[in-house]
Amino acid sequence: MTKPEGPYFGRDYLGFLKELERNNNREWFNGNKRRFEDDVQASSVRFVSDAAVQLRKISPTVVAVPKPFGGSVMRIYRDTRFSKDKRPYNTHVGIHFWHADSGNGKQSYPGYFLHVEPGETRVYAGVWRPEGAALKGVRDRIATRPAEWKKAVNPVEFMIGEALKRPPPGYDASHPLIEDIKRKDFVGGIRFSDRQVSSAAFISDFVGACRSLAPFNAFLGKAIGARW
């Protein structure tokens, strides 16, 4: 399963995902499984392998595992057991670069996640659903270091996740950053166009975006006591 050198997420890659969107069933997928393995899976693994070296220059805590299964590339198969949506396959590819210490049961550690989907490709950074001391640490640091937070979050194009409707206990409702303090999730991202994604130079755009988001991850790491 070796993909020739060239764009990681080129015409064949994005084209497969577009076709899968229209034909999300096992019969079609099984008939096109070789395309998936050659055009999507192999290219994703190659991307992880090449990105790993550059991401470690941003932070030695970033973990990248270039394997088709059990590594950084997420499964194409959907878990439909508890979902009303019974479509068997994801129509996007997720690539996770996690924090070296998160394997110790500390899931609220900063990292990167690349979501590849025609028209919707994005890279995310931050921490998802921190709890207890980690959540309080982030909120406290935002409240007491507003200038540092604004600088760290400046490159972020959008934020995702949930937030409380009211300020959490112990925080001033008039604080200028109260909307950020109310967040339950601290995940932000940068978007890429299909033209960027399908270019052979995309890895430079991706690494550049990760470098821009590094202060965001560093702020969150300091807040929860994680090295970055």
Global confidence as pTM = 0.94
Write down the pLDDT at residue 106.
53
Residue 17, in any domain of the structure: yes
Domain range for 33 is: 11-224
Give whole-number Cα distances, 84 to 58, 78, 87, 128, 217, in Å: 40, 12, 9, 24, 35
Write down the pLDDT at residue 104.
54
Contact between 48 and 95 (Cβ < 8 Å): yes
Going residue by residue through the chain (228 aa), what tens digit of pLDDT does each one get? 444 578 999 999 999 999 999 999 999 999 999 999 999 999 999 999 999 999 999 999 999 999 999 999 999 999 998 888 999 999 999 999 999 998 755 568 999 999 999 999 999 999 999 999 999 999 999 999 999 999 999 999 999 999 999 999 999 999 999 999 999 999 999 999 999 999 999 999 999 999 999 999 999 999 999 999
User: Coil, strand or helix: which one is 73?
Assistant: strand
Residue 40, in any domain of the structure: yes
Q: What is the 3-state secondary structure (H, E, C) of 103-159?
A: HHCCCCCCEEEEEECCCCCEEEEEECCCCHHHHHHHHHHHHHCHHHHHHHHCCCCEE
Contact between 59 and 217 (Cβ < 8 Å): yes
Residue 80, in any domain of the structure: yes
Residue 6, in any domain of the structure: no
Q: CA 27, CA 7: separation in Å to the nearest integer?
A: 28
Write down the pLDDT at residue 1.
45
Can you give the CATH number for the domain in which 168 is found? 3.30.930
- What's the total number of domains in the chain? 1
Residue 3, in any domain of the structure: no
Q: Which pair of tokens denotes residue 115?
A: 């979501």
Residue 146, in any domain of the structure: yes
Only one residue has tokens 């909120």, namely 139
